[in-house]
A and B are shown apart, each in its own frame.
Chain A
């Protein structure tokens, strides 16, 4: 039974990956240097992971000694990895936060094209969720607040009426859909 008790540490997440529907990497972060230290190993793992997960929508899989939780939408696959002894529900809450934050950032259009158009914000969001393997924030609203949204760049006075209306509409829509 040795080693099954988890060492109390904040370093929970081993990696976060977003792949497209061909299994190609869009964004990937690996936080533990002992897990897949080289880019080649990482890509190999991602290929394997994608092959095992793209058909079955099963949410969780054990692969190469890691517990991987995942979620897909249209043409995107989101993965969060942790050690095989890690509490799966903690990993799930990280994945949920990643997905929901991105969904809010992309205004519910979670697909490859919009994601690439907003890639910089998605990068910031991933950085806000996990810092070097430590869960920094698991609440999507805080994450979205933490990253500077693009429309906020333009002071309200400089936005066109159409822009203001558009953003108001979207906000109402998302509030209702919630």
Chain B
């Protein structure tokens, strides 16, 4: 019995602060008001208050103020410990309590007093209650304190000054001489703090910082922290020198010399700095890498961690430099610290050979469940890079990823795995079937709606093209039965894709869709009904245009167009082709994977304002141009018509409408002594074009940018539209005072300035159009007119380059990922889809082959309902 009680007492007594209650503790704080103050009673109470605050207890302003004033009473006691706790209390309460400046005089007295134990802490407490105006009244004391002989006092003053510079930087700036003196202090911490403050004050004055660094690198600081700081400053200076040449820089020599410092902290800092500098060559970082290699076998986990983390970064920029450390990294794979092991493995994956992959994957699998999500994502990214590097290893990697997918983890982690799998599927036809199977399995038990929707969309896109589409139906239909409405709707859409593309499954799909029409959710029912009626019709044209290739209009423009239609001409039939197309997301090779997967549902949710739309609104606001018919079809990216460092800079943006083109010239005046007026661009238009409107810019002061516009009507014959215009900038110059910008006189003189030619290209008039099933669309285009020609693309030496230039020249969207060239092939076919201005569909097929002769041979076939457009394309290519 007695033992039991003892045990219980021990548990209760284990933490005297366990069951503290805010109200009762604040009640106890009234003891502070008693005179004389009893330190033995008050100290524990104050400790309790601080403990409660530290536990996250919130005090209201009234409570805090009351407590604060009670605490100030404790200044009457001269007990050292109590006084020090009072300072802590002041610092904590000053954030919430009011009228805290009341203790300024007490603190100032302690700060200038004789008791060293008080002075440093009093300075820090004082600065926590001081504002910018009050700071000036204690400025004198602060200056003295910075150069005080007691290091604790000097450090406290320097650190507090740095805190204060956030609210009163101009006051603190005046203390630069004192800080300068403090850098020479014997105390290592004072040195460090003084350097920090000096740099902070002068960081915008490059010359002063350079001088400071030059001086300090010579005098060899004693504090390792200060040397680390100095290395960072030196790096910053090196980085700002844009020359990118470090070889002769004394700063670089200094950092390199730090690799031989006696403190490990400094050695590591220097090594990390060398590695992270942007322009270091592999040879320059070799000494740093050898130092890191040594650290890899250190008994201290933190040092090993630091070394591997840095080597991991090096592996991205200078993989060859890290190969020499491979043996050391191998040893770290079995490190008891999982973070170190993971970093070691991912580094090895980046630098290692194909043969090592299997072994490394097995190693990671053994502890992947023990590491944090962040590291798992690092691993996934490394695997993704591997997939691109060694496509043959997809089997091992994919199995590993699917195992990871089944583990516990957050959305971000799961999404990164799904992204990797999707990019694998898209990039590697061999991996498609097994990848889809893994994803199917994953959605069976996926709690993240957004991921499930993405995967269902992918299944709908890729599933019908596999050898055995029927096996996916079950997985998809299971979603319809088991999931929430959003996922059900996505599943219905995916099902319809199978119905549209696999005729032998159509019957069954219709049955399933009919069942979905009974769903409880509107969206699901609507979709089911929509797809059901189209599929039942069995009209290939309808199916192709409304299921396989749904209309790709820009949703926010569609909304606007419909509103306009209802207001103006509700009795007429709405013309969908007048709505601008939504441009397919730009995909560039490596990052293609995650972005290519569009989320049809999510896209509806966020109305993205496209480049065209904002430009369209701007053009509509200009009275001279507002009459132009039709919506804006396409806006090009701005192209510079001048060199980048000339006195006047002009950039042109081409806005294409159905029958017109508006050229927007953004002119910039960089001459500080000139005011430009009546700025306009004179064009020498080629045959067929007609200038219909011109909007000059009336006034252009220095460093201003302002647009001038020219509207042209396209020629009727499309083959005249691709051409060049010679352009000249014309304006009236008035000399003016560079300071004020006011012209010296009212008289100006005319001046002109040659610009580069403005080109109107095929790509300007073409909108990219995604064809997710190019084969079907191409077959349907048999009724269109067709033209074919062969070309020799000279000056292009690889298929990839040829594909890139064809795609960008035509301004069309490659379908079925045909822009990705399989390596080691000598021929390749690109399928392109596009929409010519005016809403005319264009399809193109380009067969490319590398021959014996230099250059790439191309056979281009173009199909379009309008024969003139075919002719135009055939004629301008080449």
Q: Which residues of A contact B (CB under 8 A)?
A: 1, 4-10, 25, 27-29, 39-40, 42-43, 52, 56, 58-65, 69, 87-93, 112-113, 116-117, 119-121, 123-124, 127, 131-132, 134-139, 142, 146-148, 150, 152-153
Contacts and interface: CB of A to CB of B under 8 A. Distances in A.
Contacts of B88: 123-124, 127
B455 interface: no
Contact of B302 (A88, A124, A131): A88
Contact of B199 (A8, A112, A117): A8
Contacts of B84: 124, 147-148
B79 A27 contact: no
Contact of A88 (B117, B163, B277, B306): B306
B339 A58 contact: yes
B265 A58 contact: no
Given A117-B16, A146-B152, A153-B39, 12 more contacts: A5-B273, A56-B338, A59-B302, A61-B337, A62-B374, A87-B269, A88-B306, A92-B302, A131-B156, A138-B225, A153-B79, A153-B80
Contacts of A62: 339, 372, 374-375
Nearest to A142: B152
Contacts of B268: 87-89
B302 A89 contact: yes
8 contacts: A52-B372, A60-B340, A61-B339, A123-B50, A123-B54, A134-B163, A136-B156, A137-B189
A37 to B, nearest CB: 12
Contact of B264 (A25, A89, A120, A136): A89
Interface stretch (B101-109, B231-239, B323-331, B518-526): B231-239
B303 interface: yes
Contacts, number: 175
A73 B309 CA distance: 27
Closest 5 CB pairs of A and B: A39-B56, A10-B196, A58-B337, A8-B232, A59-B301
Contacts of B16: 116-117
Contacts of B338: 56, 58
A141 to B, nearest CB: 12
B302 to A, nearest CB: 5
Interface string B224-246: 01001100110110010000000
Contacts of A135: 189, 192, 225
A10 B159 contact: yes
Contacts of B273: 5
A142 B300 CA distance: 25
Interface string B318-348: 0000000000000000001111100000000
Given A119-B17, A150-B81, A8 B229 contact: yes
Interface in B191-226: 192-193, 196-197, 199-200, 203, 225
B276 interface: yes
A119 B200 CA distance: 35
Contacts of B228: 87, 90
A164 B340 CA distance: 49
A27 to B, nearest CB: 6
Contacts of A124: 84-85, 88
Contacts of A65: 374
B339 A9 contact: no
Given A8-B199, A87-B306, A1 B317 contact: yes
Nearest to B278: A1
Q: Looking at chain B, what size class is its interface with the partner chain?
A: 35 or more
A121 B264 CA distance: 31
B117 A146 contact: yes
B265 to A, nearest CB: 4
A134 B189 contact: no
A86 to B, nearest CB: 10
A6 B232 contact: yes
A61 B236 contact: no
A9 B44 CA distance: 37
Given A10-B196, A43-B56, A61 B306 contact: no
Interface string B16-51: 110000000000000000000001000110110011
Nearest to A139: B189
Contacts of A10: 159, 162, 192-193, 196-197, 200, 229
Contacts of A39: 56, 58
Interface string B274-311: 00111000000000000000000000111101100100
- Majority secondary structure of chain B interface residues (helix, strand, loop or mixed): helix
A69 B337 contact: no
B468 interface: no
B80 A148 contact: yes
A112 B11 CA distance: 12
- Majority secondary structure of chain A interface residues (helix, strand, loop or mixed): mixed
A5 B80 contact: no
Contact of B265 (A7, A64, A90): A90
Given A87-B272, A89-B303, A153-B79, A25 B14 contact: no
Contacts of A147: 84
Contacts of A61: 337, 339, 372
Give the residue among A61, A113, A147 with the most B Cβ atoms within 10 A.
A61
Contact of A136 (B44, B189, B233, B269): B189
Contacts of B44: 120
Nearest to B276: A4
A106 B157 CA distance: 29
Nearest to B193: A10
A60 B47 contact: no
Give the residue among A59, A64, A147 with the most B Cβ atoms within 10 A.
A59
Contacts of A5: 232, 235-236, 239, 273, 276-277
A61 B444 CA distance: 34
A120 B81 contact: yes
B721 interface: no
A41 B177 CA distance: 42
Contacts of B302: 59-60, 69, 88-89, 91-92
Nearest to A147: B84
A146 B58 CA distance: 30
Contacts of A6: 232, 235
B56 A134 contact: no
A42 B43 CA distance: 27
B15 interface: yes
A60 B225 contact: no
Contacts of A1: 276, 278, 317
Given A60-B301, A89-B303, A152 B80 contact: yes
Contacts of A139: 189
Nearest to A75: B14
A123 B86 CA distance: 12
B155 interface: yes
Interface string B177-195: 0000000000001001100
B143 interface: no
A139 B273 CA distance: 26
Contacts of A119: 17, 47, 51
B324 to A, nearest CB: 21
Contact of A112 (B14, B277, B309, B317): B14
Nearest to A6: B232
B258 to A, nearest CB: 12
A72 to B, nearest CB: 13
A65 B378 CA distance: 13
B374 A63 contact: yes
B313 interface: yes
B209 to A, nearest CB: 9
B264 A146 contact: no
Contacts of A25: 54-56
Contacts of A7: 232, 236
Contact of B337 (A4, A59, A112): A59
Contacts of A121: 81
A153 B265 contact: no
Contacts of A138: 189, 225
A131 B85 contact: no
B265 A89 contact: yes
B832 interface: no
